[in-house]
């Protein structure tokens, strides 16, 4: 608990610098290109179009079990995945990317993954505006269920910021861990209910196991907001499984920070 409170204290003391560095991270990512911020939209757009064409035209998946257009169901799950993917891989290499903040400045190590998460979340917010427009074009207008979208965003942000803190520590010590994460992220994508409806799995225990996957929880949460119209507390099993995973992730993040943060400057 002492380590956790220390991390929270660093975030409070350095809060202004965190937001400045988040802005700087966005500028750094998209500066030096003629298209600029447009590149933040290119990858999601291309990915969605390719999957829509392959699965709708190639495999003739025209609609979901709920009767909603497949393209909307796909978008609702893929958009949060783009953020999670960036945090899984980019968060893992955070300390290597910003090693100068650790080795040349007196900067709290625990906040680096946080400002990276904030910068990715800002891009995610712009994508969500486009998603709302697309859904409106199809006749799916914002309703009261949209009020829980910030909750899912916050849960996604906090969980994957903790993941990044945990993973960045280990990858700074061992590049093998970073290579493992990069290799494993494709499996996470295909096993997370991004492209298939977890609700259609007939075996209850398999559905429950999949819900321990935070990627599945977040993707399904976005679909609850936009398509299924379900409140977060109406599916207690899904919420409970995510809560267990969430607690474990926080414990691992705090543990890795406590064990390794003093060694990181020397290693880098």
Contacts of 33 (CB under 8 A, 6+ apart): 39
As given in the structure block, the two tokens for residue 254 are 């705090």
Structural domain count, the chain:
1
- Give the count of alpha carbons within 13 A of 192, CB side only: 24
- Do the beta carbons of residue 4 and residue 254 sit within 8 Å? yes
pTM for the whole structure: 0.87
Looking at residue 162, its pLDDT comes to 94
Over residues 205-259, the pLDDT tens digits come to 777 778 788 999 999 999 999 998 999 999 888 889 899 999 999 999 999 888 8
DSSP3 helix / strand / coil % (the chain, rounded to 5): 80, 0, 20
For the chain, count helices (H), then strands (E).
13, 0
As given in the structure block, the two tokens for residue 1 are 């608990």
Mean pLDDT of 128-150: 90
Looking at residue 184, its pLDDT comes to 85
Looking at residue 63, its pLDDT comes to 52
Averaged pLDDT of the chain: 83
Q: Return d(Cα 168, Cα 97) in angstroms, integer.
A: 10
Q: Return d(Cα 212, Cα 219) in angstroms, integer.
A: 13
Burial class (CB in 10 A: 0-12, 13-18, 19+), 237: exposed
Over 80: is that where the pLDDT of 189 sits? yes
Burial class (CB in 10 A: 0-12, 13-18, 19+), 117: buried
Over 80: is that where the pLDDT of 156 sits? yes
Looking at residue 10, its pLDDT comes to 84
Over 90: is that where the pLDDT of 179 sits? no
Over 70: is that where the pLDDT of 191 sits? yes
Over residues 18-48, the pLDDT tens digits come to 888 888 887 777 665 555 566 667 777 777 7
Q: Could you give the C-alpha distances from 208 to 57, 103, 139, 236, in angstroms and in order?
A: 31, 44, 32, 11
Over residues 60-81, the pLDDT tens digits come to 555 555 667 888 888 888 899 9
Range of the domain at 158: 2-267
Looking at residue 144, its pLDDT comes to 94
């Amino acid at each position: 608990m002492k380590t956790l409170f220390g991390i929270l204290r660093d975030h409070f003391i350095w809060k202004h610098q965190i937001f400045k560095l988040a802005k700087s991270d966005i500028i750094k990512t998209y500066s030096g290109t003629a298209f600029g911020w447009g590149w933040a939209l290119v990858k999601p757009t291309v990915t969605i179009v390719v999957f829509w064409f392959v699965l709708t035209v190639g495999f003739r998946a025209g609609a979901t079990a709920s009767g909603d257009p497949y393209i909307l169901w796909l978008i609702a799950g893929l958009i949060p995945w783009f953020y999670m993917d960036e945090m899984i891989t980019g968060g893992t290499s955070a300390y290597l990317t910003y090693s100068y903040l650790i080795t040349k400045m007196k900067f709290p190590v625990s906040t680096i993954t946080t400002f990276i998460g904030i910068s990715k979340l800002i891009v995610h917010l712009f994508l969500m505006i486009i998603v709302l427009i697309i859904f409106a074009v199809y006749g799916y207008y914002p309703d009261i269920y949209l009020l829980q979208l910030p909750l899912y965003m916050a849960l996604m942000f906090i969980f994957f910021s903790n993941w990044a803190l945990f993973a960045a520590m280990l990858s700074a010590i061992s590049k093998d861990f970073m290579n493992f994460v990069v290799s494993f992220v494709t499996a996470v994508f295909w096993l997370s209910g991004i492209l298939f409806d977890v609700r259609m799995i007939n075996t209850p225990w398999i559905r429950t196991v999949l819900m321990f996957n935070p990627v599945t929880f977040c993707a399904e949460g976005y679909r609850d907001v936009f398509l299924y119209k379900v409140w977060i507390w109406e599916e207690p099993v899904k919420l409970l499984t995510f809560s267990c995973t969430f607690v474990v992730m926080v414990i691992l993040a705090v543990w890795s920070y406590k064990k390794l943060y003093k060694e990181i400057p020397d290693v880098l």
